[in-house]
Amino acid sequence: MTRVQLQSVGKRYPARGRNGTEVIAVDDVSIDIASGEIHAVIGFSGAGKSTLLRLVNGLERATAGHILVDGEDVTALPESKLRVVRSKIGMIFQQFNLFHSKTVAKNVEYPLVVAGTPRPEREARVAELLSFVGLADYGQSHIEQLSGGQKQRVGIARALATNPGLLLADEATSALDPDTSREVLQLLQRVNRELGITILLITHEMDVVREIAQRVTVMAGGRAVEHGDVFEVFSNPQNETTRSFVATALPSAPSTEHLRALREKHRGKLVSMTFRDGSVDQPIVFQTLADRGVGVNIVYGGISEVGGRTFGKLTLELIGDDLQVEHAIAALGQQTELEVLA
Ligand code: ADP
Task: Assess whether the C-beta atom of 203 lies below 6 angstroms from ligand 1.
Answer: no
* 276 strand-pairing partners: 311
Residue-wise pLDDT for 303-335, tens only, equals 888 888 888 899 999 999 999 999 999 999 998
Position 24 scores a pLDDT of 96
CA distances from 299 to 200, 219, 265, 340 (A): 39, 34, 10, 14
Percent of the chain topping pLDDT 70: 100
- Give the count of domains, the chain: 2
> DSSP characters for 255-306?
PHHHHHHHHHH--SEEEEEEEETT---HHHHHHHHHHTT-EEEEEEEEEEEE
User: Quick one: 237 and 264 in the same domain?
Assistant: no
User: Quick one: 198 and 112 in the same domain?
Assistant: yes
Question: Sign of the C-alpha dihedral, residues 141, 94, 52, 203?
Answer: negative
Give the distance from CA 288 to its chain's centroid.
38
Residue 300 burial (C-beta neighbours within 10 Å; 0-12, 13-18, 19+): buried
In the chain, the N- to C-terminal Cα span, in Å, equals 51
Cβ-based neighbour number of residue 337 at 10 Å: 14
Position 150 scores a pLDDT of 97
User: Quick one: 233 and 262 in the same domain?
Assistant: no
Domain boundary among the residues 248, 265, 288 is at 248
Position 248 scores a pLDDT of 82
Q: What is the average pLDDT across 85-110? A: 95
Position 3 scores a pLDDT of 97
Q: What is the average pLDDT across 118-138? A: 97
Q: Which strand (E) or helix (H) includes residue 211?
A: helix 206-212
User: Quick one: 234 and 264 in the same domain?
Assistant: no
**Could you give the 3-state DSSP secondary structure of residue 279?**
coil
Strand order in the sheet with 64-69: 23-33, 4-13, 64-69, 72-73
Position 18 scores a pLDDT of 80
Dist CA 183 CA 168 (whole Å): 18
Identify the band that residue 16 occupies on the pLDDT scale cut at 50, 70 and 90: confident
Supply the Cα-derived Rg of the chain in whole angstroms.
25
Position 254 scores a pLDDT of 86
* Domain range for 290: 256-340
User: Quick one: 129 and 271 in the same domain?
Assistant: no
Contacts of residue 310, Cβ cutoff 8 Å, sequence gap at least 6: 275, 276, 277, 278, 303, 304
Question: Sign of the C-alpha dihedral, residues 202, 206, 207, 209?
Answer: positive
Q: What is the average pLDDT across 162-173? A: 96
Q: Determine the distance separating the centroid of ligand 1 and the alpha carbon of 272, expressed in angstroms.
A: 40
Nearest CA to ligand 1 atom 24: 13
User: Quick one: 56 and 194 in the same domain?
Assistant: yes
Phi, psi of 237 (to 5 degrees): -65, 135
Domain boundary among the residues 248, 272, 302 is at 248
Dist CA 208 CA 174 (whole Å): 9
Task: Assess whether the C-beta atom of 25 lies below 6 angstroms from ligand 1.
Answer: yes
Q: Among 21, 51, 203, which is best to mutate for testing ligand 1, by the most ligand atoms less than 8 A from CB?
A: 51
**HSE on the CB side for 302, CA within 13 Å?**
7
User: Quick one: 243 and 260 in the same domain?
Assistant: no
User: Which is more confidently placed, 141 or 306?
Assistant: 141
User: Quick one: 244 and 326 in the same domain?
Assistant: no
User: Quick one: 231 and 262 in the same domain?
Assistant: no
User: Quick one: 165 and 114 in the same domain?
Assistant: yes
Dist CA 22 CA 70 (whole Å): 32
Domain boundary among the residues 187, 219, 248 is at 248
Task: Assess whether the C-beta atom of 58 lies below 6 angstroms from ligand 1.
Answer: no
Q: What is the average pLDDT across 230-238? A: 92
Identify the band that residue 246 occupies on the pLDDT scale cut at 50, 70 and 90: confident
pTM greater than the 0.85 cutoff: yes
User: Quick one: 182 and 261 in the same domain?
Assistant: no
Dist CA 166 CA 68 (whole Å): 13
Position 25 scores a pLDDT of 97
Dist CA 252 CA 315 (whole Å): 9
Judge whether residue 255 has pLDDT over 90. Answer: no
Q: Which strand (E) or helix (H) includes residue 182?
A: helix 178-195
Give the distance from CA 221 to its chain's centroid.
18
User: Which is more confidently placed, 3 or 283?
Assistant: 3
Q: 24: domain CATH number?
A: 3.40.50.300
- 157 contacts 80 by C-beta, under 8 angstroms: no
Cβ-based neighbour number of residue 93 at 10 Å: 17
User: Quick one: 263 and 242 in the same domain?
Assistant: no
Q: What is the average pLDDT across 58-65? A: 95
Task: Assess whether the C-beta atom of 50 lies below 6 angstroms from ligand 1.
Answer: yes
Give the distance from CA 181 to its chain's centroid.
12
Q: Determine the distance separating the centroid of ligand 1 and the alpha carbon of 100, expressed in angstroms.
A: 28
Nearest CA to ligand 1 atom 12: 25
Q: 320: domain CATH number?
A: 3.30.70.260
